[in-house]
Chains A and B, each alone.
Chain A
Amino acid sequence: MNSDRFLLPAPVEALLWKLGRLLFHVVGLAWQLFMVAPLIIVVVVSFTSASYLMFPPPGYSLDWYREVLSLSWIRSAVTSSLIIATCATLIAVVIGVLASRVLAKRPFRGRGLVEYLVLSPLFLPGVVIGFAIFNVLVMIQMDRVAMPQMIIAHVMITLPFVIRSVWASMAGADISLEEAAQSLGATPAQTFWHVVLKSARPGILAGAILAFTFSFNDVTISIFLTSSRVTTLPVQLVSHIEYNPDPSPAAISTLMIAITLALFVFLARIGGLNAFLER
């Protein structure tokens, strides 16, 4: 048929095919190593017995964890980071779900503008947003109310993550499910609860996970809003690294990794992650 088509001899082709697959695996493995290796090094180094950073460590101990846990700011920083991330996530999910519902419904005048507005924090540099929020807070003399301002700022920056994932799952939802529910006697409120939220559950969970981790790990915005009373773990970590050339930052980093991992394990336990991965 295609007599003029150039074909490699079959054995050569088979060999190339095998080489290609090998290359694929090698690249995949290298990529994973590249992603994970630095983290593994940090975790390993945090258990060192030496008072300087060195890999592999000359000996192992829990000295640096003891050191870190005795730091005056560590408890309050972890607590406020958790409170801020939890509150910001909850608020962002509530607002995000409602906003997504509006956006996923029929088009309205100015919808394009609303889309850009709610997603704009994704495109803008965090430093710019942090600086802007800081200025506004100073202007309205709110910069002394530590915790709420931090939460509001975090809602602002995490909202796009929630909206993006919830909106995606709502936009793909089957409208006839809502009509079926209504024909079966469900009021709009019941339909929203039993059908709209249930259908969007994977998107909501995915958005919440993204929002929480982003809020929990954020430095660029929080750094403008920290005060002597309220600070977050990553912000403290940054300033700690600046003044302490010892392995204690590695211990703090390991703690942060542990908290984030614990969150994912918890979500996997309650089945949330399954729903997240399934769709």
Chain B
Amino acid sequence: MTADMTTGGGSSDAAAVALQDIGKSFGETEVLKKVSFQARKGEFLTLLGPSGCGKTTSLRIIAGFEDATSGDVMFGQTSVNDLPPWRRDIGLVFQNYALFPYMTAAENVAFGLKMRRVAKAETATRVKAALAQVGLAGYENRHPRHLSGGQRQRVALARALVIEPKLLLLDEPLSNLDAKLRGEMRYELKNLQRATGVTTIFVTHDQEEAFSLSDRIVLMRSGEVVQYCAPDELWSRPATAFAADFIGVENLIPAQVTAPGQLTCAGGLAVAPTTVGFAQGAEVILGLRASDVAIQPKGGTGLPATILDGEYRGRERLYRLALPGLERPVLASAPSDIAFDGEVTLCLPPEKMMVLHDDR
């Protein structure tokens, strides 16, 4: 991953697909508000967000099934606003796969080639190769109803990829699979995308999928882009309290900036993270991961705290602790082989603290 991958913008001439100030309203309801992002050629871009954030609508606008109320969808240097879906050259995988039930796997995969009037012999070779690529050689004559969920998923992928699309759009394609299969398919999806080098836009509400698959992530909320960056940046520097909450930062504590480098949490506890970009007196949210809060036996340097309860999580244990000076309990995780109880000492490292705009 190159350094400029981590920046939001990037140079626009390399963009394979770009949304520019896309707005979309259904009647009175505004579902997209000036959404802009772009995917470079060969990039794996993920639209991440809770349901209703506008990620699927964005995808449908790129595919051409919805018209944007304002703004432009660009493929390379040209606007495709007026291009109907069947001329956009897009491979699309639906959440429910949308395989044609009355066609065999091979016929499903051949459909796009048939529409493009590709010669019969070439179609046969390409269909065979596409099915082999997704590990379904020998399943050519099966109907979708005789395939498992994972196999249907692969047929849908082969069908979308065999037309060698300019762009691959994936609408929550893993959400209908069970947990184990989801992990496997995630791995295969990434390999397939690398092998074909196709520019991919992936829609999901699952942050884990987003982190493991993406080159960049567009985090969305209520029709707006909250953060647009590489996965490691989203992980280490969520832009707002919403972003931090969504990617699973456990401790989000209301606080106020009292002086540069000084915060006072609700309840009175004073901490000292960096507060660059925040004015004195600003109401903020202090974010801290449970894994960054260190628990020590009573007596060390740190803050005295009382364990309220602990939840066994396998490798680790997640504790809720009462800390004088904080209104709500603090969450902290520690290896599960040592069980803490009663009075302990907590260490809240200032360098791990995130100071966040409260946008929740």
List the interface of chain A (C-beta within 8 A of B). Answer: 174, 176-177, 179-188, 190-191, 194-195, 198-199, 201
Q: In the complex the two chains form, is B102's CB within 8 Å of A183's CB? A: no
Q: Which of B158-189 contact A (CB under 8 A)?
A: 159-160, 163, 169
* With contact pairs A174-B98, A176-B96, A199-B102 given, residues A181 and B90 touching in the complex (Cβ less than 8 Å): no
Instruction: Pick the residue among B64, B91, B98 that contacts A177 (CB under 8 A).
Output: B98
Q: Are A179 and B100 in contact, CB atoms less than 8 angstroms apart?
A: no
Residues in A whose Cβ lies below 8 Å from that of B101: 199
CB contact between A185 and one of B94, B99, B116 (< 8 Å): that residue: B116
Residues of A within 8 A of B99 (CB): 180
Partner among B87, B92, B160 whose Cβ is within 8 Å of the Cβ of A179: B92
CB-CB < 8 A to A179: which residues of B?
A: 63, 65, 85, 92, 94, 98
Q: Is B211 an interface residue (CB 8 A)?
A: no
Contact B86 A198 (CB under 8 A): no
Shortest Cβ gap from A126 to chain B (Å): 36
Are B115 and A190 neighbours in the complex by a CB distance under 8 Å?
Answer: yes
- The main secondary structure of chain A at its interface with chain B is helix
Does the CB pair A186–B65 fall under 8 Å? no
**Which chain B positions have C-beta within 8 A of A180?**
92, 94, 98-100, 159
Give how many A-B residue pairs fall within 8 Å (CB-CB). Answer: 65
Contact, CB under 8 Å: A194 / B111: yes
Q: Are B91 and A183 touching (Cβ within 8 A)?
A: yes
Q: Which residue of B lies closest to A178 (CB)?
A: B98
Confirm or deny: B112 has a beta carbon within 8 angstroms of a beta carbon on chain A. Answer: yes
Size category, B interface: 20 to 34
Q: In chain B, residues 261-310, which have Cβ atoms closer than 8 Å to a Cβ of chain A?
A: none
Cα A5 to Cα B88 in complex, Å, equals: 67
* Cα–Cα, bound, A226→B269 (Å): 98
A183-B85 CB under 8 A given contacts A198-B102, A199-B102: yes
How far apart are the CA atoms of A199 and B99 in the complex, in Å? 12
19 A-B contacts (beta carbon < 8 Å): A176-B94, A176-B96, A177-B98, A177-B100, A179-B94, A182-B64, A182-B65, A182-B86, A183-B85, A183-B88, A183-B160, A183-B169, A184-B160, A185-B86, A185-B89, A188-B86, A194-B111, A195-B100, A198-B100
Residues of B216-242 contacting chain A, CB below 8 A: none
CB distance from A8 to the nearest CB of B (A): 43
Question: B325-352 CB contact bits vs A (8 Å, 1 = yes)?
Answer: 0000000000000000000000000000
Among the listed A182, A194, A199, which residue makes an inter-chain contact with B85, where contact means beta carbons less than 8 Å apart?
A182
Q: A183 to B90, Cβ gap below 8 A?
A: yes
In the assembled complex, the Cα of A179 lies from the Cα of B207 at a distance in Å of 27
**Cβ B92 vs Cβ A183 within 8 A:** yes
> What are the 5 closest A-B residue pairs judged by CB atoms, nearest first?
A184-B112, A185-B115, A183-B92, A180-B98, A176-B98
- What is the bound-complex CA distance between A195 and B111, given in angstroms? 11
The distance in angstroms between the C-alpha atoms of A177 and B115, with both chains bound, is 15
Residue of A nearest to B63 (CB): A183
List, in ascending order, chain B residues with CB within 8 A of A199's CB.
Answer: 101-102
Chain A residue nearest in CB terms to B103? A198
Beyond A179-B85, A198-B102, whether A184 also contacts B111 by CB under 8 A is yes
CB contact list, B114-171 vs A, under 8 A: 115-116, 159-160, 163, 169
- Determine how close the nearest CB of chain A comes to the CB of B237; give it in whole angstroms: 36
Residue of B nearest to A194 (CB): B111
A83 vs chain B, min Cβ distance (A): 32
6 A-B pairs besides A179-B65, A183-B90, A188-B86 with CB distance below 8 A are A176-B94, A180-B159, A181-B115, A190-B115, A194-B111, A201-B102
CA distance A104 to B135 in the complex (A): 38
B112 touches A185 (CB 8 A): yes
Taking CB atoms, residues of chain A closer than 8 Å to B86 are 182-188, 190-191
